[in-house]
Structure 1
Amino acid sequence: MTRNPTHRLPALDEAYLEETLLQLLAIPSPVGLTDAVVRYTAGKLEALGIPYEITRRGAIRATLKGRESRPARAIVAHLDTLGAMVRELKDNGRVGIVPIGSWSSRFAEGGRLTLFTDGQQLRGTCLPLKTSGHAFGDAIDSQPNSWDHVEVRLDAPSAGRSELQALGVNVGDWIAFDPQPEVQPGGYINARYLDDKAAVAVLLTVCKAVKDHGIALPVDVHPLFTITEEVGSGSSAALHGDIAEMVSLDIAIAAPGQNTDERAVTICLQDMAGPFDYHLSHKLIKLAQEHGIAHRRDVFRFYRSDSAAAVEAGNDIRTALLGFGADASHAQERTHFDSLRALGQLCVGYMASDPVAARDRRSMGSLEGFTKQLNPEEMQVPATPLPDPETFLDADGSVPAEST
């Protein structure tokens, strides 16, 4: 992993990055309850003078104009987060819940939260069914871990089902857990939902750098902000036929058995949906090397991103994945500003670079201009020295019988 200072790339506005990240984290946005964060992001684009369009449900496609309109490229981050939903009004006055997205109830336990009824917001806490050791003794340590074994205690009079109904609580109400952000002087950032609000903040900061420094873009770049990545559909909307390359920005997992580092950008070569595009991924690797950007390569076995949704929706585009290195994904996540900085610098370098292939401006074409993955004539193949012939001869200089 290279840690040399970057060169030829403008510095990012890190004060803007931190402010944007904290503001994003303060806006609840579990899948299905994303209007507020969409409005916030649209406001940030307007302030930067970047035009955008919004789909019916709220995915945003912005446009940074390049010298040519095709082959266009997209860089995508998702605004939606994990969350929960009311599944049951219980006789004890508490609320049974189910998760929105894929995460463990063990990370919900003890979490402060907001429950959104049709008419008001109620504060509460997610607790195991047996919480107090003074009442249940050792049973608090032996109860199972699942969403069936947690419940929400609301900060309102609710001793029974009728009181919950009087508060306006209904099955299907959304629940957002508090992000609990904490920024350390040494650069570490802790919070729920860094996945993917840290990447959103980076993408907006990169857009600001392009505008502030007047960076010339060879082709149109479309920053995309999706709203359903955590449930799998993500960037299946908001793309169009001119987009030939798409880079997803998302969390990268620093854990035993992984190669990701919390202080570098990760270039992912494969996730559970399969390998990413060879040429686009290697272009990003080369850019990181050229600019001295701290980076790692990795593969993720239990992971999918906006790129998978785009391809599964029938889009014939090159895809790649860049991640900010983080620990404890879908839990109390932690990353470092070094990783966000490296991710941003690589995005700037990518935006300013030429497309993978000029041929990609058309969806179909001849073999002319088609890419090559491996060209033996250009590869440096280490020479393998031939063995000394005498090592194959007997002591009298004759050829051994078994080799004739």
Structure 2
Amino acid sequence: MKYILDQLKQLTSIDSPSGFTNDVTRYTMEQFEKLGFKPYLTNKGCVVCGLGGEGNPVILSAHIDTLGGMVAEVKKNGRLRITNIGGLNANNCETETCRIRTRGGKTYEGTLQMNDPSIHVNKKFSEQSRTFEEMEVVIDEDVKEKKDTEALGIHTGDFVCFDPRTVVTKSGYIKSRFLDDKLSVAILLGLAKRISEKKLILNRKVYAFITVYEEVGHGACGALPADAKEIISVDMGCVGKGLACTERMVSICAKDSRGPYDYEVTTELVRCAEREKLDYAVDIYPFYGSDADAALAAGYDLKHGLIGAGVYASHGYERSHTDGVKNTLRLLERYLGKD
């Protein structure tokens, strides 16, 4: 658990909105290599790593890219209007610290604020619509107009990355932006560590497939290992109204917005959870799509499943728990390990 949480903190500290993932994929490659594996990068930038085992190959997919923003306009006042990358919601970003990453390699800090955000000045502040059109990044530099900002090297198309604020409480709760899906990547690194230490003997051939561009819909659309028969997306488990999962559980998804998951795969995951006496829930996610869905939509002939540690407040300041991590890891070990 300490290893997984340490990896999570490292991963969340590396800015990686979709389209800006080179630093985090390099780090992830290095971690697999330290464990004795030989990962490689696809042309698009996904990390592929064989974890061993023989026969009936399965892909464990998790995504390393996150939500974020991009400069849409340098405004006359020198501040920035941004556009969202993926499902970043303006309501969840107000007053958040962020970093502007320029294409020239410079990094500047700022804060996303409402236009005219002082309640002592603006009596209509509470009535303003929380949209990116009504917000601006206030840069922590001495800029007063557009030319001042452009002189810093900040231009349209630069990435805006939000502070994850990663915290693990004494009671085991994990709070951070981008647990979707860096928590799952940390879990897969933990699984790889178990395999490298010979504490898990695989019952089949296993690949880890760490994708980029999942948040914009095409993470696992290409370059999957050709011999694979199955793909398990390890992503966040939904927590919310009408669902049984909590942050302390592992969620098994039976159906999402794109349809049902493979019956045999999902049933075997449930059986494994029951045999291990795990704290789990089977749920239907109403507004969700996974890398497993993307792979099938791209034409791959794979059986597919979806599991993940329960995550509350998805696409915002998210929360999970170490128990959810343990249950997810144990489910993977039961599903992939020899008796």
TM-score (norm 1): 0.82
Superposed displacement of residue 93, structure 1: 1.2
Secondary structure in structure 2 of the residue aligned to 1:243: coil
| Contact 1:210/1:348 (<8 A) preserved | no
CA distance in 2, matches of 1:257, 1:287: 24
Verify: 1:235 aligned to 2:217, yes or no.
no
| Other-structure match for 2:110 | 124
| Other-structure match for 2:21 | 34
Secondary structure in structure 2 of the residue aligned to 1:284: helix
| Other-structure match for 1:298 | 283
Superposed displacement of residue 351, structure 1: 1.6
Q: Say how many residue pairs are matched.
A: 338
| Other-structure match for 2:206 | 221
CA distance in 2, matches of 1:329, 1:217: 32
TM-score (norm 2): 0.98
| Contact 2:110/2:137 (<8 A) preserved | yes
| Contact 2:201/2:338 (<8 A) preserved | no
| Other-structure match for 1:6 | none
Match runs of 1:132-281 below 5 Å: 132-137=118-123, 139-281=124-266
Superposed displacement of residue 56, structure 1: 1.5
5+ residue gaps, structure 2, are none
Match runs of 1:5-404 below 5 Å: 14-66=1-53, 68=54, 70-119=55-104, 120-137=106-123, 139-352=124-337
CA distance in 2, matches of 1:238, 1:64: 17
CA deviation digits over 1:159-183, x for unaligned, max 9? 0011011111110000100000111
Secondary structure in structure 2 of the residue aligned to 1:135: coil
Superposed displacement of residue 111, structure 1: 0.6
Secondary structure in structure 2 of the residue aligned to 1:131: coil
CA distance in 1, matches of 2:41, 2:119: 50
CA distance in 1, matches of 2:139, 2:47: 34
CA deviation digits over 1:97-123, x for unaligned, max 9? 000001210111111010011231010
Identity %: 36
The residue identity in structure 2 corresponding to 1:158 is: V
CA distance in 2, matches of 1:78, 1:111: 23
| Contact 1:130/1:143 (<8 A) preserved | no
